[in-house]
Amino acid sequence: MKELTLRKGRQSVDPKKRFPTGKVEIARRSAPGAVDASAQGESLALPIAAFQSRAASAPRAPGVYLMKDGDGRILYVGKSIDIRSRLRQHAASLRAGYGERNYRWIRQVRELSWLETNSELYALLLEDQLIKAHWPAGNVRQKEYLEYAWLAFSVEALPRLQVIDARQRGQFDAVFGPFHDLYHARDMADLVKMRFRLRTCAAVRAEGCLQGEMRKCSAPCRTAEAAERYRGTVARAAASLQRHDPWFFRFIDYTILRCSRNREFERAAWLHAMRHRYCALIRRQDFIEHFKRHGLVVREGGRWENTFYFLHGRMIRREGGELLAGEAPAEEGGLSEWQIIDRAQVIWAWLQGGRISGAAAVIDARFFRAEIADR
């Protein structure tokens, strides 16, 4: 019988005893016909070699690349400003065996193709459209429009500020957003509730509640006069979410100063980040609203000079680059609201990505067509 002792929380056992060292050995013992790791590497050697040779012939230009299976189904859609370099990165990760989740679909890749766009912005727009159209197995995000979150006030006598998703958006007249991150939407809702002391309780109590006693809520349920004042507060909170509110900034700055004096540095840092997010929210909302109602001219400089013309979210003209026959986004007719919002988000993120060469100008829709006709 072998001796077993405890040393500093660990078990000391016989050093000659051999334990399973990995999943492959465990699989051998449990399943006699399991695949060996060396055999698995040999089965993947041919696809990886073919992948590398195909990637070596890719152009060093911006565009979208597609990975397809034997039946021609698209398994993955990606974009890059250097297609060859990006495909070589995929080949290196396959050769090193990074990420087991990749092998579930990468083994089925039998065809590799790409589409040159001569534009980084156009590659982003084309990638987003192809992902939503084909739902590739290898793409995790950008598959649908339901990822966005909004803020909205509930429809009741004493409204509450809520975080809603795309499925609930049609139930509210006024919404604020969108937020691409649900947690950012919740943080913004907490900040607005703190600023205006909005109601958070699920049920209205005539005698008040603990939030009112702690002065975290304006207690509109106590009297009719308090309820009327609360409705005015809700209107001011909605206005602060629609346009820049200097008093909202003063509240954030004063709270940051108070937290710093009390050595609450983590909360002060959170408020500092929320100040920037509030600015970005107002600017993004204005951009999306103008993109839906007016025209937009986007000029892309640098190595690939392009000019894009959008009207009511639809791209009506491009100058400076060659369009891909049969692969351009379907711009005939009107676009749905979700398509317009998603396209505006892509363009906004590209413009805010630190690219000095990118520039945008909003033009009134009444003069936009005349501006195009004169060119």
DSSP 8-class letter at 335: P
| Six token digits for residue 311 | 């009207």
Instruction: Give the residue carrying structure tokens 């890059």.
Output: 80
- The CATH architecture assigned to 37-134 reads 3-Layer(aba) Sandwich (3.40)
pLDDT of residue 163: 95
What's 304's DSSP letter?
S
Give the model's pLDDT for residue 46. Answer: 42
**DSSP classification of residue 312:** T
The C-alpha torsion from 155 through 157 and 158 to 164, rounded to 10°, is: -10
pLDDT of residue 301: 81
**Cα(358)–Cα(307) distance, rounded to whole angstroms?**
10
Mean pLDDT per block of 10 residues along the chain (375 residues) reads 41 44 35 38 56 88 90 90 91 69 69 90 91 86 77 92 89 89 93 92 71 74 86 94 94 96 95 95 92 88 85 87 47 73 90 68 65 53
pLDDT, position 277: 95
Write the DSSP symbol of residue 216.
S
Strand partners, 79: 64
Cα separation of 226 and 239, whole Å? 20
- State the sign of the Cα–Cα–Cα–Cα dihedral 323, 326, 328, 333: positive
Which stretches of the chain are DSSP H helices? 23-30, 37-56, 83-96, 103-106, 120-134, 182-196, 210-213, 224-242, 246-261, 265-293, 337-351, 365-373
Quote the pLDDT of residue 246.
Answer: 94
Transcribe 39-58 into DSSP letters.
HHHHHHHHHHHHHHHHHHTS
Q: How far apart are the first and last CA of the chain?
A: 93
What are the residues whose beta carbons fall under 8 Å from the beta carbon of 247, sequence distance 6 or more? 240
Q: pLDDT at position 167, please?
A: 84
Domain with CATH 3.40.1440.10 in the chain: 37-134
